[in-house]
Amino acid sequence: MSVERHYTTQPGAPLVELHNVSRRFLRQRDRRRSFQETFIQFFRRRRSPADEFWPLQDISFSLLPGDCLGVIGPNGSGKSTLLKLITGILEPTGGSMAVRGRLSSLLELGAGFQPDLTGRENIYLNGSIYGLSRRQIDTRIDAIIDYAELGDFIDTPVKHFSSGMYVRLGFAVAIHTEPDLLLVDEVLAVGDMAFQRKCLKSIHDFRYQGGTLLLVSHSLDAIQSVCNRAIWMDEGMIQAEGATTDVILQYQRHVAVLEDGKRAAVSLPPSGVGQRWGSGNVQITQVDLLGAAGVPQSVYFTGQEMSIRLRYQSEAYVEAPTFGLAIYHDSGVNLFGPNTDLGKLSIAGIEGQGAVVYTIPQLPLLDGNYTISVAVVNHNDTETYDFQDRAYSFQVYPSSRRDGYGIVTLQGKWSFHPQESVTVISPQPQVQVSRPT
Amino acid sequence: MVRRLRDLARYRGLVRNLVVSELKTRYKSSALGFVWSLLNPLGMMMVFTLVFGVLWPNNQIEKYPLFLLCGLLPWNFFSASVNSGMNSVVSNGNLIKKVYFPREALPIAAVLSQLVNFLLAFIVLFAVLLIFRSHLSPWLWLLPVIIVVQTCFTLGMVLMLSTLHVFYRDTAMIMEIVMLAWFFLTPIFYSISQLPPYYELWGMNLNVHRILYILNPMASLINMYRDMLYYGYRTDLDFFLRTAITALAVLAAGYWFFIRYSSRFGEEV
């Protein structure tokens, strides 16, 4: 184990360099907290290897000046431990590492604030925790106060602050320390929308000014938009490393496969959230979501083929039923509600068992959770035989050919016409609505 | 060790800010504020004078309040430092787990803020000196040096205890008893000359006075304060040197112990 730390950057050398770094923890965290336990421990055998676990194993990577590295992975994959090693809060158990340059971490905003001191006094205290001298803070204090948007509250003890103000002040101090390397751990999830946007903008600015960044986040969008490289960690090891888009995609694929496995085990039960009603003359007995090969699956990628199969059963002969479904986004938006009537599929009558299939050749949905309602009604929609409201769900991940953000892809095409003169169409202030008379 | 000292020098602003914030928070919500630094020793002096000057019939020490204060103030500095310094690392556990900075800044700041208090209390002491018209020692210039020596000794103890306290929370309980015993074994409210000079233990003839001074640096320190301020005597040089060397050795050992284990604070607090 060797650790090297310098407070200045060295030209050409990586800011952070890790070689086969490992870290061990002992599972029994309360061990030997008192003399009594030490005494008991003395008579026991040495601890068994089962008591230890390794949140980090053989981690190697380096971070060059100007890089922005995103770290993704599920909870408990060792991301935070990695940051703690780099900041120096924890020491590695094995391997060698070097850190060159001043670093500042946005691990916990406002850690170290003294509740009885005013905002201004806490800026000095917090700044010095980050290693700034009094003079350095003097030159920045106005910018910090301005940034934190605290107004007159700056001379109030911070115990009277709202939690938002607290975090704003913490972020303002941390971002103004002008470090060579900024470590960010999920802080973008704090504050209101406006402040979150401001944080993100500051992080972007920091990056454009040549700062080096290490960002840990569950928000893949944030990683995608800020980072040029990414690491996917799982079970204390680096699973993938490289360009952000590639790593994110691999991670999402992995999660998709895992979730699909979990869901297949329970074979799409009605989720229970939805209500079911109807006369029951025709019953929808089963709903299957099928992939291209006709295999049931509950996780799809944008652009894949997807079929929704409704199995029905009716005791007696029912004339001209209409089958329909509706796809909802998690946000509650009804995206599309096709039915056999509008789809010009005429069914003369049904008796016994059968199935109706709705096929989407290229799923236009982007990432998110979706739920499906299914229904069967009589010809002129006066009697509902069976209605299952948002009883089935599936998930979509964006494919590598993602062409935009949002809920759906409209599959439009871009074109570029540099020589063409563009006629500007002035927007119409009034919209003509023809009223039926 | 040199690297750690350089590290600490870089963060001296932090130590200062910690001291300032400690002092500010201590007095911020009390009506009398820092006046308490003066009232507290005065109050204690009155209590002890009442007990040992009035209720105790056979007390032969003259100018007892002054005699007492010369011992009580350094002792208060020491015991308050030990109490707050020992807890300084554990009580800032949240900070230690989140941000890196030289951890020794915490106990150092705890001791220094008590030092400021101690120096303020000297205002009271000098007032009492004037009242009793005590003749000051021509060696009074040595007083700041003695204060520095005591600070070194205290800091060494605090560095060691705060480290121990991270790993064994029993430290605080044990120290409660130890500090009580230490208080009574230090000539604060009595004079060492009031003790029997010799004591027979298992056939050995022990020199009580000598042993007390050798085993208890606080006894030596308080004796030196009294030489300066109460007896108006120049303190013995060999005695002073021995105490100073002990103090520096305790500081060095404490600092070594602290940095040896401080890298594990992040997981243990």
The predicted pLDDT at position B149 comes to 95
pLDDT for B186 beyond 80: yes
> Do the Cβ atoms of A108 and B98 come within 8 Å?
yes
Q: Between A87, A116, A157, which is nearest B100 by CB?
A: A87
Confidence tier at B213 by pLDDT (50, 70, 90): confident
Residue pair B66/B49 in contact by the 8 Å Cβ criterion: no
Token pair 């986040």 is found at A217
Residues from chain B that touch A91, judged by Cβ atoms under 8 A, are 263-264, 266
Mean pLDDT, range B88-110, rounded to an integer: 90
Residues from chain A that touch B95, judged by Cβ atoms under 8 A, are 111-112, 129
Q: Between B13, B18, B28, which is nearest A116 by CB?
A: B28
Nearest alpha carbon to residue A312 among A348, A344, A371, A352: A352
Nearest residue of chain A to residue B96 (CA atoms): A89
Mean pLDDT, range B61-74, rounded to an integer: 87
Mean pLDDT, range B154-167, rounded to an integer: 96
Mean pLDDT, range B251-262, rounded to an integer: 94
**A–B interface: beta-carbon pairs under 8 A:** 84
The predicted pLDDT at position B32 comes to 78
pLDDT for A207 beyond 70: yes
- A25 interface with B at CB cutoff 8 Å: yes
Residues from chain B that touch A32, judged by Cβ atoms under 8 A, are 167-168
- Size (chain B), residues: 269
A33: CB partners within 8 A, 6+ apart: B167, B168, B169
Question: Where is mean pLDDT largest: A140-144, A251-255, A414-418, B55-59?
Answer: A140-144
List C-alpha distances in Å: A282 to A350, B62, B218.
9, 109, 95
3-state secondary structure of A349: strand
The predicted pLDDT at position A268 comes to 43
Residue pair B41/B73 in contact by the 8 Å Cβ criterion: yes
Positive or negative, the CA dihedral A98, A101, A102, A103 is negative
Confidence tier at A266 by pLDDT (50, 70, 90): very low
Mean pLDDT, range A332-357, rounded to an integer: 89
> Do the Cβ atoms of A116 and B10 come within 8 Å?
no
The predicted pLDDT at position B83 comes to 94
3-state secondary structure of A54: strand
What letter would DSSP give residue B51?
I
Which range (A32-46, A83-97, A112-126, B193-207) has the least confidence? A32-46
> Is pTM beyond 0.95 here?
no
> Do the Cβ atoms of B168 and A125 come within 8 Å?
no
Residues from chain A that touch B267, judged by Cβ atoms under 8 A, are 25, 90
- B133 interface with A at CB cutoff 8 Å: no
Residue type, B1: M
The predicted pLDDT at position B248 comes to 96
Nearest residue of chain A to residue B15 (CA atoms): A128
Q: What is the dihedral of CA A376, A382, A384, A387, to 10 degrees?
A: 70
- Average pLDDT over chain A reads 82
Other CB atoms within 10 A of residue A402 CB: 17
Residues from chain A that touch B92, judged by Cβ atoms under 8 A, are 112
Which range (A24-33, A319-328, A344-353) has the least confidence? A24-33
pLDDT for A265 beyond 70: no
> Do the Cβ atoms of B167 and A121 come within 8 Å?
no
Query: Is the predicted ipTM greater than 0.85, yes or no?
Result: no
Q: Between A25, A34, A117, which is nearest B168 by CB?
A: A34
> Do the Cβ atoms of B95 and A129 come within 8 Å?
yes
Nearest alpha carbon to residue A277 among A372, A391, A370: A391
- B10 interface with A at CB cutoff 8 Å: yes
Residues from chain A that touch B10, judged by Cβ atoms under 8 A, are 7, 131
Tell me how far apart the alpha carbons of residues B212 and B114 are, in angstroms, rounded to a whole number. Answer: 26
Q: How far apart are the first and last CA of chain A?
A: 85
Q: What is the dihedral of CA B137, B140, B145, B150, to 10 degrees?
A: 60
Mean pLDDT, range A118-124, rounded to an integer: 91
Which range (A185-189, A295-299, A358-362, B3-7) has the least confidence? A185-189
The predicted pLDDT at position A271 comes to 41
pLDDT for A175 beyond 80: yes
Distance (Å) from the alpha carbon of B96 to chain A's nearest alpha carbon: 7
Nearest alpha carbon to residue A213 among A256, A183, A252: A183
